[in-house]
Structure 1
């Protein structure tokens, strides 16, 4: 199979193909001063083309069913190396480091609102980009670090979204993310000298530990929690707020069990980063018993932010719903109602 090579100039030849994920991409290059701005503009165009022009599943998504996602890539600096003659540090052409922030949401059935699914910041982005080559990626072989990073996160986003619609519905996409990792060259995955975003360093918050935590059998209760929280919880609350909230509580208790088996899990932290404020708002209207249960559980999962959950006991006005840019989907990924 030929490698997938995305070039902006080829966009018109790819027919009506579009990603299952609707990416809003922003590239911040304010800190880069030694590179031709036209190259950086081309990079942003190629990122948009790659992310929004590739299909990652065999499912057909209607326009209003596409997963909404925001990507904000900040380039920090050009990678440097020592000049062999003078020893001075000089920029490596076309090589950059940066930080990547990703947020995704899912509609809630029955209400004009969305719920956050994934909220992460990857501070270990390193890649080479040459204008005119586009973003290179293949499912069969390693072609570029930037292409692998983008594909990895597309599969993670899909897996998390599918997990909210059916029990373990995202499994094959998490395994696809693992395949992306397995194709990386050894110099990127070495424990001591590899790429900080990929290397299997104990408890580092990077791509490897996120993938490894999601696929860890000890984290199965967390995987179940995504379905219970969303499909049996939030989606039910518009018609039965008590039963829906009870299921959200069950999901949080499952998440706590998973985190107890794998303390300081990057996967659990991704859950709390996305859900912290939403959980606080949900339980402002709950009983005192429910509030205490959730405050205790979330403080154990999210100890660094434990004080934030005290706001659950605040009885002030609920926040206004956020209107999504697309109508709530009736799609049921995975076929489980």
Structure 2
């Protein structure tokens, strides 16, 4: 009986450990800030990592291999000697490709306004009903955004409920006075990323993300020709996007991180498909034309 109880407890512990959605790595840096409290930074690094990894962000159960790999590199740029920190953050998330050891980047976002207050030993938390702290809002906003993008890559428009959760956090944070939550804070901030993700004008890009991964990358190992043909067939859908919106943050961030990968995939194509892909990509994503030049050179 005792043995069965131990097994049950261990099973429960394993279930809980594997239930969360994120597998986040966190790095706190302060290369230019003299006399910063390094112990406080180490404690904060652990607190942020635990907050991201131990919170339950959905009502679903994720097995350990299904957890979403993500990195938060937070660089402190100024410290007031107390609890106030000015910082920048680089947030990345990846998605495993079926049948391979390759991980495909979904988000690579630079947040220049990752400012917060933190006292040693202070818990980080968030609420979907009220604003508690900027650090809790920042982390939960990106947690839901990361999960949303992952969902979009597995089911068509599957990320919408999570972008709405991120929008709710954004709305609650707007009255707290921190930068990056409002439209007039800049063109490449959290407000505009969320606006783009929920804007119907960018639905062709979200649909492409699904098709590119599920009907492209995920079958590349089993049927390379079919995978490449599928991706090539989906590219014209992106021409539906308003050309004036190509410089917006969502397509800009997405193609900046995916351009090289897409080019590498099409480098496996035949000459005709390479040329078609090149012509489409330089029209859809002119900002990253240098990443597609290798296709033209290999013709």
Q: 1:107 aligns with which of 87, 90, 96?
A: 96
Q: 1:208 aligns with which of 179, 191, 214?
A: 191
Relative contact order, CA 8 A, sep 6+: which one is greater? 1
Q: How many residues align?
A: 285
Q: Distance in 1 between matches of 2:260 and 2:38?
A: 38
Structure 2 counterparts to residues 17-96 of structure 1, below 5 A: 19-78=20-79, 91=80, 93-96=82-85
Q: Structure 1 residues 99, 241: CA separation in 2 closer, same or farther (over 3 Å shift)?
A: same
- Which structure's residues are more often helix, by fraction? 2
Q: Structure 1 residues 178, 307: CA separation in 2 closer, same or farther (over 3 Å shift)?
A: same
Question: Deviations for 1:1-32, whole angstroms, at most 9, x for unmatched residues?
Answer: xxxxxxxxxxx9xx747630100111112222
Structure 1 gaps, min length 5: 1-11, 79-90, 189-194, 317-337
**Deviating 4+ runs (over 6 angstroms):** none
Q: Distance in 2 between matches of 1:305 and 1:183?
A: 35
Q: CA deviation at 1:172?
A: 0.5
Question: Deviations for 1:12-70, whole angstroms, at most 9, x for unmatched residues?
Answer: 9xx74763010011111222224322211211111111111111011101111111111
Q: Distance in 2 between matches of 1:92 and 1:249?
A: 54
**Counterpart in 2 of 1:97?**
86
Q: Are the aligned partners of 1:43 and 1:134 in contact in 2 as well (CA < 8 Å)?
A: no
Q: Structure 1 residues 51, 18: CA separation in 2 closer, same or farther (over 3 Å shift)?
A: farther
Q: Distance in 1 between matches of 2:205 and 2:131?
A: 31
Q: Which SS does the other structure have where 1:68 is aligned?
A: strand
Q: CA deviation at 1:169?
A: 0.9
Q: CA deviation at 1:107?
A: 1.5
**Counterpart in 2 of 1:328?**
none
**Counterpart in 2 of 1:81?**
none
Q: 1:298 aligns with which of 271, 281, 293?
A: 281
Q: CA deviation at 1:73?
A: 0.8
Question: Deviations for 1:303-337, whole angstroms, at most 9, x for unmatched residues?
Answer: 33212211123449xxxxxxxxxxxxxxxxxxxxx
The TM-score, its normalising length taken from structure 2, stands at 0.88
